[in-house]
């Protein structure tokens, strides 16, 4: 990076600033979590460290989850304690912000590396990379996937740099840094071991030399040291020594527990990519990956994407977040495609489609990742406006039979509607539109909050699917 932002390239600074603003927006508005693992595998054990009464998921009973990221967030919260901030929503925002900034820095590193190696230093590439909504959304997640991918990107760049360097002192320095970041990526998400394996395979196949070997060996020793440090944090988290890495391997690849969460055909990721990003954008992304792999078969970035994609496609259980370490490169590969090909007679149409679709998806940065967490924030901010709290049929404190205690522990106890005390000023939380209409019309109740604007209620199908949450104030 090295004075990267403060270079004389004013346009680049503008693009970086736009990317930074998008990351801030996502960190602030994207309340909650994208997947259950984001909360219950990271924030869940954080509740335990913060002495919040909680119940950890089954993964912790079998000791297959690492504690390093949880302790990282715990140390951040303890630092914040010095300025007496205990609002869980501010704390959650700060954690999302830290994750966002780390992720954003990794993208700047990647762009700085790519523009030199692949000549993508043009305005279209800058728009595609720094204006990509998915980066801001993904980096705002407090998930292990997010941080591990950021560490992987920085680690692989340092690895590539020291392999290419002719300065022995610089080689040693960069090899140590690569080992640190690659090791951290594996501790945070052990599946990244596949990507790290192919990084070293790339060296053996394409860049092997006696001179480089000792530096590669040094980076490997650093990785082992970082993995051991991860086990130390696991010891404090679980209260006794465990080989979390082996436990994870045994549970998923020997006992094959992951298959119980569903099995999909080998082509399922193609379907997910097409449906997630929508044609023609999704088709362009797939073509760009194929083109990059074909033109750069022996490149390190091919080695950490193509074989990993094949490996993940072979595994029976599939989720979109599993291929985030690959999709993270999509704007770079699309930029490479558009920069190096003249086969697309409709290149301007393709670029326009990508930009328009990206602008549409940017709306998602302003939407809570978990609707119920938006309710919790409203209840927290308005604790003086009600005496009792009730729910009708659907309990907002429970999401898939799990309670995100990080947020709800600071809220009043919630009871069923049938236990309503008429003489108390009460908030009632409702998901059923029919009951909401009934109670507002027949009782002295007023709508004080809803997840989505009221005009959405005009859609009968959405109403019947319990699309919205309502909070009514009843006197």
Q: What is the predicted pLDDT for the residue at 249?
A: 87
Confidence band for 465, pLDDT divided at 50, 70 and 90: low
Q: What is the pLDDT of residues 316-363, one digit of tens each?
A: 889 888 999 999 999 999 999 988 886 555 567 777 777 888 888 888
Most confident of 166-170, 224-228, 275-279, 437-441: 224-228
Most confident of 38-42, 62-66, 229-233: 229-233
pTM of the model: 0.92
pLDDT over 70, % of the chain: 93
pLDDT average, residue stretch 9-22: 89
Q: What is the pLDDT of residues 48-103, one digit of tens each?
A: 999 998 888 888 988 999 999 999 999 999 999 999 999 999 999 999 999 999 99
Q: What is the pLDDT of residues 407-430, one digit of tens each?
A: 999 999 999 998 887 767 899 999
Q: What is the pLDDT of residues 92-102, one digit of tens each?
A: 999 999 999 99
Q: What is the predicted pLDDT for the residue at 105?
A: 96
Q: What is the predicted pLDDT for the residue at 331?
A: 94
Confidence band for 263, pLDDT divided at 50, 70 and 90: confident
Most confident of 224-228, 333-337, 465-469: 224-228
pLDDT average, residue stretch 389-406: 91
Provide the mean pLDDT of the chain.
Answer: 89
Instruction: Give CA 347 to chain center in angstroms.
Output: 31
Partners of 399 in the β-ladder: 402
Most confident of 233-247, 252-266, 330-344, 459-473: 233-247
pLDDT average, residue stretch 388-397: 93
Q: What is the predicted pLDDT for the residue at 2?
A: 47
Q: What is the pLDDT of residues 186-195, one digit of tens each?
A: 999 999 999 9
């Amino acid at each position: 990076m090295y004075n990267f932002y403060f270079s004389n390239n004013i346009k680049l600074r503008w693009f970086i600033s736009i990317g930074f603003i998008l990351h801030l927006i996502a960190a602030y508005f994207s309340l909650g979590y994208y997947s259950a693992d984001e909360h219950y595998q990271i924030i869940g054990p954080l509740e335990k460290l913060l002495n919040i009464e909680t119940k950890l998921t089954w993964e912790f009973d079998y000791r297959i989850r690492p504690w390093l990221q949880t302790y990282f967030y715990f140390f951040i919260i303890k630092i914040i304690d010095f300025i007496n901030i205990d609002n869980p929503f501010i704390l959650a925002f700060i954690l999302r912000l830290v994750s966002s900034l780390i992720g954003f820095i990794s993208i700047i590193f990647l762009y700085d590396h790519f523009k030199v190696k692949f000549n993508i230093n043009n305005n279209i590439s800058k728009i595609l990379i720094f204006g990509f909504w998915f980066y801001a959304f993904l980096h705002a997640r407090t998930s292990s996937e997010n941080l591990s991918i950021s560490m992987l990107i920085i680690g692989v760049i340092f690895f590539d740099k020291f392999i290419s360097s002719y300065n022995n002192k610089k080689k040693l320095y960069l090899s140590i840094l690569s080992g640190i970041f690659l090791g951290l990526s594996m501790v945070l998400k052990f599946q990244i071991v596949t990507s790290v394996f192919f990084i070293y395979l790339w060296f053996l196949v394409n860049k092997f030399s006696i001179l480089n070997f000792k530096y590669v060996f040094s980076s490997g020793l650093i990785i082992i040291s970082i993995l051991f440090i991860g086990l130390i944090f696991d010891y404090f988290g679980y209260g006794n020594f465990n080989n979390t890495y082996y436990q994870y391997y045994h549970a998923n690849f020997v006992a094959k527990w992951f298959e119980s969460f569903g099995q999909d055909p080998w082509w399922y990721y193609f379907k997910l990519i097409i449906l997630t990003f929508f044609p023609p954008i999704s088709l362009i992304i797939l073509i760009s990956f194929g083109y990059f792999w074909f033109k750069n078969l022996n490149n390190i970035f091919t080695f950490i994407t193509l074989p990993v994609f094949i490996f993940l496609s072979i595994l029976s259980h599939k989720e979109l977040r599993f291929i985030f370490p690959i999709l993270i490169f999509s704007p770079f590969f699309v930029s490479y495609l558009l920069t190096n090909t003249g086969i697309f007679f409709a290149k301007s149409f393709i670029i326009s489609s990508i930009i328009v679709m990206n602008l549409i998806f940017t709306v998602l940065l302003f939407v809570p990742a978990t609707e119920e967490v938006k309710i919790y924030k409203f209840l927290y901010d308005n604790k003086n406006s009600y005496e009792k709290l009730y729910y009708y049929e659907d309990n907002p404190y429970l999401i898939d039979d799990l309670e995100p205690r990080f947020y709800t522990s600071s809220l009043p106890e919630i009871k069923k509607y049938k236990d309503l005390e008429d003489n108390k000023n009460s908030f009632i939380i409702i998901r059923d539109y029919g009951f909401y209409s009934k109670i507002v019309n027949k009782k002295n109740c007023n709508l004080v909050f809803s997840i989505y604007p009221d005009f959405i209620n005009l859609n009968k199908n959405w109403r019947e699917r319990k699309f919205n949450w309502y909070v009514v104030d009843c006197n």
